[in-house]
Structure 1
Amino acid sequence: MVPPDSLEGEEHFVKAKDAALRFLTYRARSEAEVRRRLSKKYGPAVIEQVIETLLRQNFLDDSSFAQVWRDNRELHRPRAKRMVQQELRQLGVSSDVIQDSLEGYSDESNAYDAGIKLARKLASRNFSDEELRRRISSLLQRRGFSYGMVRETVEKLCGELGADSLHRQDDAKNHEEESQPPDTKADRDAQQSKQS
Structure 2
Amino acid sequence: MVGDITAADLKEVLNHWMNEDYAYTTVKKVYIVLKEYFRYLTQQEILSKNPMNSVPMIKKSNYMTAQNKEDLPTQETVTIFTPEEIEKFKTEAFSRFSNGKPKYQQPAAYILMLNTGLRTGELLCLLNSDINLEGRYLEVRQNVKEVCRREGTGYVPGREVKVGKAKTATSKHRVPLNGAAIPR
Comparing both structures, which one devotes a greater share of its residues to helix? 1
TM-score range, shorter chain: under 0.3
**Who wins on radius of gyration, i.e. which is larger?**
1
What's the TM-score, normalizing by structure 1? 0.24
What's the TM-score, normalizing by structure 2? 0.26
